[in-house]
Amino acid sequence: MKGWNGRILRIDLGRSRTTHESYTADFAMQFIGGRGFAAKILWDEMMPGTDPLAAESRLIFAAGPLTGFVLPSSGKLVVAAKSPLTGGYGEGQLGTHASVNLRKAGFDAIVIQGKADHPCLVSIDDDVVQILRADSLSGLGTIETERRLKQEYGQSVGSLVIGPAGERLVPFATIISMGGRSGGRPGIGAVMGSKRLKAVVVHSTKSMVAARPNELASLGSEAYKGILSKPGYKSWKNQGTMATVDWAQNNGALPTFNFREGTFDDFEKINGSAMEAMKVRVRGCPNCNMTCGNVVSDAETEESELDYENVAMLGPNIGLGDLAKVSALNRIADDYGLDTISLGSIIGFAMECYERRLVEERIEWGNFDDAKTLVGEVASRKGIGELFAQGTRRAAQVLGHEALRWAMQVKGLEVSAYDCHSAPGMALAFGTSPIGAHHKDGFMISWEASAGRNASDLEKVEKLLELQRNRTIFECFSVCRFPWLQFSLELDLYLKFFEAATGVETNLIDLHNTSDRIYALIRAFWVREYGSEWSCSLDQPPARWFEEPPRKGPTKGETLKREQYDQMLNCYYKKRGWNSQGIPTKETLNRLGLDYVSRELAVTPRA
Ligand code: PTT
Ligand code: SF4
């Protein structure tokens, strides 16, 4: 095999043992890499019902066949596990030098199992893999942890670390790299913490081998030049994802006061222009010439790397219109290793609970000090933090009193920063995302806002399927989707990258078929885990969007309509070949080469 290394590194922390395993060309073609590898390994190796934080649970790091080659934005890594937040499939796509170094070292993925009996780190230096004690790193924030690792292992080392939140098993703790990249929203950092694994460092002196190296090099160099020549390049470099604040405000999509509203009066104090005025530098993932990590100096004069989601969720969503303070919350979240989307949602939820006097501890809208105190308590699981550290779904179940109505989540994962009162297609994207309410697979709202508000429900479903199919290709190649999305690098070009890297001819139809296989497998994983608890009601977006219209802005007075949503959902199931409960049918699974899945699902108990 070329392009793929054909090797997976297995690390058993309980037995202090590391081994290499080969995989077949058929496995590579069926699952490609990244998300595909992660989903297949989790399906094969996780006994149904395994506690995600138990020793038997698996933690997967998976690169793809394009990761690490000199191609635009190719330094990503899928981090995946059964999620302690949702109880289903969980993953993130993290920018990190660890991915590039892992591939150069000759591995495509790492499977971590077992639980160490003391804090540890894994060091990979080409073929030398060591499990080392990491007592001195215990309890440290991610920023200091990475600083010390670089001091000890050198500046070129790639690191994946957790902070105190991961160590204390907060179910939305993430894995951090490069001082401000955060991956694995649904608690993949907690799974790492449960194994007492504080860090993975990866170093390599080798280089990677492509099937047609000259062709790949020339395709890559043309693509980099193509990005530089695009008219939007300068404005992207100025604001990156932060330009979305103005767009969301104009389209009534900016989450405000726990998604009660879609516009924020003080949006100009936290938008891309406000960020530009505070910018101190720019950072980016490996192999990327679009470097979108905008770094500002925050209210506590520390550096904080901003993206739209962080700012929208820790700003308008909690009623805070001061970018320096929002940035401080963002940096504190990075340092504890907490997902900012879930965190902002939880703070907003807590503020609403206080307003409704469901909790006594003061936490008022827009109050930075209250929010900061809550973040510390969540990360340390102390005081009221123990309740809110469980995420909005579980906290609402504990609080009762209809609190679930304003818990902004799907399947337990908090909704990313797009208000959907008037965006049924985006609501469906959240409802059917493979990890709970995340936007990565179906950014329907931009399509709905420009061309599609008046589109028929059928058109919306078809558009969503197209987005999910295309985007899964990026999750499997394990490269950033922004060059494609922002600068129209065509999918055909990615197919050429793939062919030059692996020597395997492919086409979009085959890759869409692979996407469908992976979607069905991930859906089956959820169904197997939920057993009798599974039903199509888990694909419903939060009640608030159906029940409480915004009081101002372009979406004033609008709500989602239940009947319309249910029709779209049913249509989506039919087009995927899933039954009325959203479960892939036997015929669909067999057609996708997943007959072993259909046999197992047939014996899964369901209501
Ligand atoms: C991603 C999610 C996002 S998506 C954002 S901002 W975004 C938040 N960023 C966080 C952060 O920062 N710190 C923190 N403590 N928590 C955070 N939670 C949120 O995490 C991210 C970029 C972005 S920025 C996006 S859209 C794109 N996402 C991609 C994707 O999903 N797939 C893909 N093939 N390419 C992508 N490119 C872009 O990558 P998760 P990252 Mg991320 C400070 O990891 O789990 O997917 O969560 O990894 O390296 O930070 O890249 O407006
Ligand atoms: Fe990372 Fe941004 Fe580059 Fe994508 S565009 S690889 S998220 S720096």
- pLDDT tens sequence across 357-385: 999 999 999 999 999 999 999 999 999 99
177 Cβ closer than 6 Å to some ligand 1 atom: no
| Nearest protein Cα to ligand 1, atom 4 | 309
pTM: 0.97
482 Cβ closer than 6 Å to some ligand 1 atom: yes
CATH architecture of 7-203: 4-Layer Sandwich (3.60)
Mutation pick for ligand 2 pocket among 480, 486, 487, 489 (CB with most ligand atoms within 8 Å): 480
Ligand minimally distant from the alpha carbon of residue 77: 1
What is residue 61's predicted lDDT score, i.e. its pLDDT?
Answer: 98
Per-residue burial over 498-520, b = 16 or more CB atoms within 10 Å of its CB, e = otherwise: bbbbbebeeeeeebbebbbbbbb
| Nearest protein Cα to ligand 2, atom 4 | 480
441: left (phi over 0), alpha (psi -120 to 50) or beta: alpha
Q: Is a pLDDT exceeding 70 seen at residue 398?
A: yes
| Nearest protein Cα to ligand 1, atom 33 | 480
- Residue whose token pair is 């319309």: 564
What is residue 178's predicted lDDT score, i.e. its pLDDT?
Answer: 97
Mutation pick for ligand 1 pocket among 178, 244, 440 (CB with most ligand atoms within 8 Å): 440
Is there a contact between 293 and 284 (Cβ–Cβ < 8 Å)?
yes
Q: Is a pLDDT exceeding 80 seen at residue 43?
A: yes
CA-79 nearest atom, ligand 1: 45
pLDDT grade for 550, boundaries at 50, 70 and 90: very high
What is residue 604's predicted lDDT score, i.e. its pLDDT?
Answer: 67
Proportion of the chain above pLDDT 70, given as a percent: 99
182 Cβ closer than 6 Å to some ligand 1 atom: yes
339 Cβ closer than 6 Å to some ligand 1 atom: yes
Q: Strand 17-22 relative to strand 7-12: parallel, antiparallel, unpaired?
A: antiparallel
Q: How far is residue 417's CA from residue 437's CA, in Å, rounded to a whole number?
A: 10
Is there a contact between 607 and 530 (Cβ–Cβ < 8 Å)?
no
What is residue 401's predicted lDDT score, i.e. its pLDDT?
Answer: 81
What is residue 393's predicted lDDT score, i.e. its pLDDT?
Answer: 98
Q: Where exactly does CATH 1.10.569.10 map onto the chain?
A: 237-414
Ligand minimally distant from the alpha carbon of residue 241: 1
Q: Is a pLDDT exceeding 60 seen at residue 607?
A: no
Mutation pick for ligand 2 pocket among 239, 285, 475, 481 (CB with most ligand atoms within 8 Å): 285
| Nearest protein Cα to ligand 1, atom 44 | 183
Q: How far is residue 147's CA from residue 154's CA, in Å, rounded to a whole number?
A: 10
Q: How far is residue 79's CA from residue 59's CA, in Å, rounded to a whole number?
A: 8
pLDDT digits (tens, 9 = 90+) for 124-145: 999 999 999 999 999 999 999 9
Helices (DSSP H) in 356-489: which residue ranges? 368-380, 385-388, 391-399, 424-432, 444-447, 457-477, 482-487
How far apart are the CA of 292 and the centre of ligand 2, in A? Answer: 6
- The DSSP bridge partners found for residue 202 are 124, 158
| Nearest protein Cα to ligand 1, atom 15 | 334
95 Cβ closer than 6 Å to some ligand 1 atom: yes
How far apart are the CA of 177 and the centre of ligand 1, in A? Answer: 12
How far apart are the CA of 482 and the centre of ligand 1, in A? Answer: 11
How far apart are the CA of 351 and the centre of ligand 1, in A? Answer: 25
- Tell which residue, 259, 227, 271, has the closest CA to residue 74: 227
CA-481 nearest atom, ligand 1: 35
DSSP string, 37-57: HHHHHHHHHS-TT--TTSTT-
CA-240 nearest atom, ligand 2: 2
Other beta carbons within 10 angstroms of residue 356's beta carbon come to 13
Is there a contact between 184 and 92 (Cβ–Cβ < 8 Å)?
yes
CATH architecture of 237-414: Orthogonal Bundle (1.10)
Per-residue burial over 42-77, b = 16 or more CB atoms within 10 Å of its CB, e = otherwise: bbeebeeebebbeeebbbbbbbbbbbbbbbbbbbbb
Proportion of the chain above pLDDT 90, given as a percent: 96
What is residue 451's predicted lDDT score, i.e. its pLDDT?
Answer: 76
Q: Is a pLDDT exceeding 80 seen at residue 454?
A: no
Q: How far is residue 166's CA from residue 151's CA, in Å, rounded to a whole number?
A: 23
Helices (DSSP H) in 177-290: which residue ranges? 188-194, 213-228, 233-239, 244-250, 272-278
475 Cβ closer than 6 Å to some ligand 1 atom: yes
Q: How far is residue 197's CA from residue 186's CA, in Å, rounded to a whole number?
A: 18
pLDDT digits (tens, 9 = 90+) for 219-275: 999 999 999 999 899 999 999 999 999 999 999 999 999 999 999 999 999 999 999
CA-292 nearest atom, ligand 2: 2
User: Going by C-beta distance under 8 Å and a sequence separation of 6 or more, which residues neighbour residue 262?
Assistant: 248, 251, 252, 253, 254, 255, 256, 419, 421, 422, 550, 553, 554, 555
Mutation pick for ligand 1 pocket among 73, 182, 302 (CB with most ligand atoms within 8 Å): 182
User: Going by C-beta distance under 8 Å and a sequence separation of 6 or more, which residues neighbour residue 24?
Assistant: none
What is residue 455's predicted lDDT score, i.e. its pLDDT?
Answer: 84
What is residue 605's predicted lDDT score, i.e. its pLDDT?
Answer: 60
What is residue 606's predicted lDDT score, i.e. its pLDDT?
Answer: 59
Q: Give the largest CA-CA distance in the chain.
A: 66
Is there a contact between 171 and 190 (Cβ–Cβ < 8 Å)?
yes
Is the CATH number of domain 444-601 1.10.599.10?
Answer: yes
pLDDT grade for 60, boundaries at 50, 70 and 90: very high
How far apart are the CA of 86 and the centre of ligand 1, in A? Answer: 19
The burial class, CB within 10 Å (0-12 / 13-18 / 19+), for 231 is exposed
pLDDT digits (tens, 9 = 90+) for 297-340: 999 999 999 999 999 999 999 999 999 999 999 999 999 999 99
Average pLDDT of every residue of the chain: 97
327 Cβ closer than 6 Å to some ligand 1 atom: no
- Tell which residue, 16, 27, 100, 23, has the closest CA to residue 61: 100
How far apart are the CA of 117 and the centre of ligand 1, in A? Answer: 32
How far apart are the CA of 22 and the centre of ligand 1, in A? Answer: 30
How far apart are the CA of 405 and the centre of ligand 2, in A? Answer: 35
CA-284 nearest atom, ligand 2: 8
Q: Where exactly does CATH 1.10.599.10 map onto the chain?
A: 444-601
74 Cβ closer than 6 Å to some ligand 1 atom: no
Q: How far is residue 438's CA from residue 443's CA, in Å, rounded to a whole number?
A: 9
What is residue 450's predicted lDDT score, i.e. its pLDDT?
Answer: 86
Three-state secondary structure call for residue 205: coil
User: Going by C-beta distance under 8 Å and a sequence separation of 6 or more, which residues neighbour residue 523?
Assistant: 434, 578, 582, 583, 584
Q: Is a pLDDT exceeding 80 seen at residue 119?
A: yes
Question: Looking at residues 476-480, what average pLDDT do you find?
Answer: 98
Q: Where exactly does CATH 3.60.9.10 map onto the chain?
A: 7-203
Other beta carbons within 10 angstroms of residue 439's beta carbon come to 18
- Tell which residue, 288, 294, 298, 302, has the closest CA to residue 320: 298
Task: Name the phi and psi angles at 462, rounded to 5.
Answer: -65, -40
Protein residues whose CB sits closer than 6 Å to any atom of ligand 2? 73, 95, 284-285, 288, 290-293, 480, 482
How far apart are the CA of 213 and the centre of ligand 2, in A? Answer: 24
Ligand minimally distant from the alpha carbon of residue 339: 1
Q: What is the 8-class DSSP label of residue 256?
A: B
CA-95 nearest atom, ligand 1: 49
How far apart are the CA of 291 and the centre of ligand 2, in A? Answer: 5
Question: Looking at residues 22-35, what average pLDDT do you find?
Answer: 98
